[in-house]
Structure 1
Amino acid sequence: MGEKNLGNSVSRKPSSCLSKKVVTMGALTLAVLATCFVLWPKSPANLAHEGAQARAQLLQLWSAGEIAVLLRHAERCDRSSNPCLGPTDGITRVGSEAAAGVGQGLARLGLTQADILTSPVTRTVQTAHYMFNSDPRTQEWLATCGTTLRNDVVAHKVAHRNLVLMTHSGCIADFEKQTGFKHSAKDAEYASALFVHIDGHGQLKVLGIVNAEDWNTLLEEKN
């Protein structure tokens, strides 16, 4: 009986060791997944909340003509109870006011060395009109976007000139995924801006976003 019990005790040891290994491996796997989740960038930082150094860098790069900015159109008429400007595929009156405010912020940055392009869709054309007090050239690729958007932005960027692009939330999401933000948490807000640094060699780095209500904070450094 003693030998039998001893045999059972010995036979249980490998199973116990295996269980410990399984638990250890499981814990390591969870730790790796948790670390990756923390390190994955969900969405670009808000530049208005990043401090004076980040704002100063943006102003410096803008002055050098090394910025591309992707703007989302203002509030859609067909998804709001606010009064429309006109066509239901356009923007609301509230949206036009927000667009004008963002335009004032961009004007304070300076638009003399900027190329402005817009998607041909009604809501983007209207937003651009109220934002810049003009009707910029329309570009179909700013409506279709897709897998080539990152390269299209770089291709349209002229050296020493900033590039201002009026587009859509889906297009901005495409761009973010193509530039390292594969797990973006939410769509771009109405009339928000995504700032990107593109150097003379076409190398691209996302700097961050500025929402419509944040322009005064962003431009404190300029004052």
Structure 2
Amino acid sequence: MTHTYIQGTGEFKAGFFPFRLFSGRALIVVFSLILATALIWFLSMARVADLGSGSNLASSGLIELWKHGDVVVMIRHAERCDRSPNRCLGSADGITVNGSQAASDVGAGLQRLGLERAHLIASPLTRTQQTATYIAGQTVISQDWVGNCDTHFKNEVVGHKTKGENLILITHSGCIDHFERTMGLPAGERSSEYAEAFFVKMDGKSIPRVLGSLNAVQWKSLANDQLK
């Protein structure tokens, strides 16, 4: 607010500069910029695409990458016996009967995708070994690092990926979470259901890129031509 002297009266008259209108417009501009920045940040966040939904599988490029052996798949073990009321497949540290069926469904899906250029490794724990057996239809080699869920897990994955060969890891939710963290995935995007498969492009030329995920049920709903 300003004060204007009125000649001959000895009085000051209160008034306002136009900056009040300008300030209002400036606030609108500032808020618009803040909203635009927030929207750009939100849209640029790394996300895990649901490959069983819509055209996500086709647009991900997974099929072509798989044909060239440029994919790593991390699969969480099937339903744990010691955390479920369902009937156990065997010992309490293994998976349930329902879990073995889910693992078989994942295996059938991977077979349709093609395992000619794939190498499977499992964590040595009972639940991952059983899951791997039902996925592959045979015993799968185990290595300790696949079950070591720490900050070095991503480096281990990269180090064990062979050029031109897809790598399938039967592992744990904690390991997958550590990998997702290093990929910059926010907390709301980091999750893995029992027997869920998490796909990553890893061609040795560019930085790894998250392709998306498929749960055990979704494999059965995919048509053969979608996986070729």
> 1:16–1:6: structure 2 CA closer, same or farther, 3 Å change rule?
farther
1:29 to 2, 14, 34: 34
2:109 to 102, 105, 120: 105
SS at match of 1:71: strand
TM-score of the superposed pair, with normalisation by structure 2: 0.81
Give the residue type in structure 2 aligned to 1:67: V
TM-score of the superposed pair, with normalisation by structure 1: 0.82
| Aligned length, in residue pairs | 220
Matched, 1:167 2:174: no
Q: Distance in 1 between matches of 2:60 and 2:187?
A: 28
| Counterpart for residue 197 of structure 1 | 201
Larger helix percent = 1
Percentage of pairs with the same residue: 39
SS at match of 2:154: helix
Q: Distance in 1 between matches of 2:36 and 2:61?
A: 36
2:13 to 6, 24, 29: 6
Q: Distance in 1 between matches of 2:29 and 2:68?
A: 53
SS at match of 1:138: coil
Q: Distance in 1 between matches of 2:147 and 2:137?
A: 21
Instruction: Point out where structure 2 has 5 or more consecutive residues left out of the alignment.
Output: 6-10
Matches within 5 A, 1:31-46: 31-41=36-46, 43-46=47-50
Instruction: Point out where structure 1 has 5 or more consecutive residues left out of the alignment.
Output: none
1:123-167, CA deviations, whole angstroms, 9 ceiling, x for partnerless residues? 111111221122222222222232222222111011221111011
> 1:74–1:15: structure 2 CA closer, same or farther, 3 Å change rule?
same
Q: Distance in 1 between matches of 2:57 and 2:83?
A: 38
Aligned-residue offset at 1:222: 4.1
Q: Distance in 2 between matches of 1:163 and 1:119?
A: 14
1:66 to 67, 70, 80: 70
2:225 to 213, 220, 223: 220
| Counterpart for residue 78 of structure 1 | 82
Q: Is the 8 A contact 2:69 2:166 kept in 1?
A: yes
Aligned-residue offset at 1:67: 1.5
Superposition CA RMSD, Å? 2.9
